[in-house]
Amino acid sequence: MKVSILTVFAELYKPFVATSLIKKAQENGLLAVDVDEFFSFVQPKERIDAPTFGHGPGMLIKPVVVQKAIEAKESLHGKAFKIFFSPQGTKLDQSVVAQIAQKAQEQGHLMLIAGRYEGMDARVEQVYADMTISVGDFVLMGGDLASLTVLESVLRLVPGIVGKTESVSDESFSGPFVEYPHYTEPIVWKGLEVPDVIRSGNHGAINTWRMDKAARKTVLHHFDWLRTRTLDSAQMKVCKKNMPHHYTALLHNDVLISDSQKSGTTSVTSLDIHDIARSSKTYGIKGYFIVTPMLDQQKIVKRLLDFWMSEGVEYNVSRHEAVKQVSLANSLDDVIVVIEKIEGKKPLIIATSAREIEHPNCISYYDQEKVWSYDRPVLFIFGTGRGLTKERLLASDFLLKSVKSFSDYNHLSVRSAVAIVFDRWLGINEKT
Ligand SMILES: C[S@@+](CC[C@H](N)C(=O)[O-])C[C@H]1O[C@@H](n2cnc3c(N)ncnc32)[C@H](O)[C@@H]1O
């Protein structure tokens, strides 16, 4: 495979491509790397850059210079799969690396075109880029580190460059999980012992242990990656095992009952019981509590739950499965006691509200890692009426940001809000 690199600073690449496996691949004839500077394509003393049109600082590499460089390299090595670099580009991850590796091998020629200064004239990418890559949401001084990152990650996937194919295919982000932990000698180091199971010689047990560790690490630290992947049934099972347990409670007390900010109690509704039960079951919530201190309301809930535990089974078995997880509670304190009994630990309480209030622990839908790091069950609380009182919100461990979009209207039903919150917090959102 041929790799052409176009840059302002060729010397950045020289030691890199003359080292280790990339050097060996060139010696073995698997790879030819051609690094060249844009200066090779202008007359001596001619500039490769020019000021941007419009106000604002910065110089851009001229399109004609990039054109000459690309045309020269393609006439030497054949048509290339061409990559440009920009913080605005496609975010690099292992699946993007795999796509580039495949295209580069099909084409036989990969070209990496690294910008500098303020970047390049926008028309160059428009005309030539097969892909524009970003290595993250930050700004480098030039595209060279991004280009070296692409070079090394892509070459790992070209057969023959890295010795064992399993060391490439088993690693983090090649599948849905990051890699399991590795250990070597000595068996005990700084009081930490290599787990017995991986020295047991029992391959089945080692594989099970490794999958469990990989899944746990991915759930707890890379949930945003995991939820975009497609999981097989074994992977799904091990993820479920490692997911922290979640519960939810719908409060009919400690809620606001009018715009005048008065707190009070509300009536239960059959729709909230059924629909939130179904959302809870769908998102793996372990228990759904209807909280009301009012005896007449408790009677209504009991009657409904009794129905679903008796005739309801035959009437609609999937609804029965969902409602089976619903319990009635007198107060939030009672809910906490029940969860503590089941889990052996008090739950962390995440309160939800459509109103924005100041809370010392306000969290977003990207904060699973923070909450799950406490290794405690999680209880979401939702309010009926006009929402949970300020006192109840402030007494909770966390306050989750309100659900909102690009409109001024903010009056979701509690059933809809619950479903959205569950989906944002626990939902799978496969990319392919
Ligand atoms: C100073 S940056 C230009 C940033 C550009 N003005 C912007 O705000 O999007 C100069 C060059 O560095 C490279 N670069 C900077 N940050 C990058 C990133 N996160 N990923 C890939 N390339 C990057 C690109 O080649 C870019 O053209």
Ligand 1 pocket by Cβ (under 6 Å)? 85-88, 114-116, 118-119, 134-136, 138-143, 146
Over residues 362-367, mean pLDDT? 98
Q: With 70 as the cut, is the pLDDT of residue 165 above it?
A: no
φ/ψ of residue 400, rounded to 5: -85, 140
In order of 116, 165, 270, 336, the CA distances from 300 in angstroms are 70, 63, 9, 23
Which tokens go with 216? 């746990």
230-254 per-position pLDDT tens digit: 999 999 999 999 999 999 999 999 9
Please report the pLDDT score of residue 260 as a whole number: 67
Question: Ligand 1: distance of its center to the CA of 150 in Å?
Answer: 15
Question: Ligand 1: distance of its center to the CA of 428 in Å?
Answer: 32
Please report the pLDDT score of residue 239 as a whole number: 98
Q: With 80 as the cut, is the pLDDT of residue 182 above it?
A: yes
Question: Ligand 1: distance of its center to the CA of 125 in Å?
Answer: 13
Question: Ligand 1: distance of its center to the CA of 406 in Å?
Answer: 29
- Can 2-168 and 244-426 be said to share one CATH topology? yes
Bridge partners (DSSP) of residue 247 are 287, 379
Please report the pLDDT score of residue 167 as a whole number: 63
Please report the pLDDT score of residue 166 as a whole number: 59
Please report the pLDDT score of residue 168 as a whole number: 66
What gap in Å lies between CA 278 and CA 318, rounded to an integer? 9
Least reliable range by pLDDT among 21-30, 181-190, 303-312: 303-312
Over residues 131-150, mean pLDDT? 97
Residue recorded with tokens 């012992």: 193
What gap in Å lies between CA 97 and CA 20, rounded to an integer? 20
Which tokens go with 357? 């209030």
CB 289 within 8 A of CB 328: yes
In the chain, % of residues over pLDDT 90: 91
Please report the pLDDT score of residue 23 as a whole number: 97
Domain boundaries, the chain: 2-168, 188-240, 244-426
Bridge partners (DSSP) of residue 210 are none
User: Given ligand 1 and candidates 59, 92, 124, 140, which is best to mutate, with the most ligand atoms within 8 Å of its CB?
Assistant: 140
33-92 per-position pLDDT tens digit: 999 999 999 999 999 999 999 988 889 999 999 999 999 999 999 999 999 999 999 999
Question: Ligand 1: distance of its center to the CA of 85 in Å?
Answer: 7
Burial class (CB in 10 A: 0-12, 13-18, 19+), 218: buried
In the chain, % of residues over pLDDT 70: 98
What gap in Å lies between CA 283 and CA 423, rounded to an integer? 7
Nearest residue to 115 (alpha-carbon basis) of 42, 2, 6: 6
Nearest residue to 294 (alpha-carbon basis) of 248, 336, 326, 251: 251
- Is the overall model pTM greater than 0.85, yes or no? yes
Q: With 70 as the cut, is the pLDDT of residue 391 above it?
A: yes
Residue nearest to ligand 1 atom 20, measured at CA:
134
Class of 244-426 in CATH: alpha beta
Q: What is the mean pLDDT of the chain?
A: 95
Residue nearest to ligand 1 atom 17, measured at CA:
87
Ligand 1 atom closest to residue 133's alpha carbon, by position in its atom list: 21
Question: Ligand 1: distance of its center to the CA of 102 in Å?
Answer: 25
Task: Provide the residue type at 249 as one letter.
Answer: A
Over residues 206-212, mean pLDDT? 97
Task: Provide the residue type at 156 as one letter.
Answer: R
Q: With 80 as the cut, is the pLDDT of residue 152 above it?
A: yes
What gap in Å lies between CA 359 and CA 393, rounded to an integer? 8
CB 77 within 8 A of CB 2: yes
CATH architecture for residues 2-168: 3-Layer(aba) Sandwich (3.40)
99-110 per-position pLDDT tens digit: 999 999 999 999
Please report the pLDDT score of residue 67 as a whole number: 98
Which tokens go with 54? 């419009």
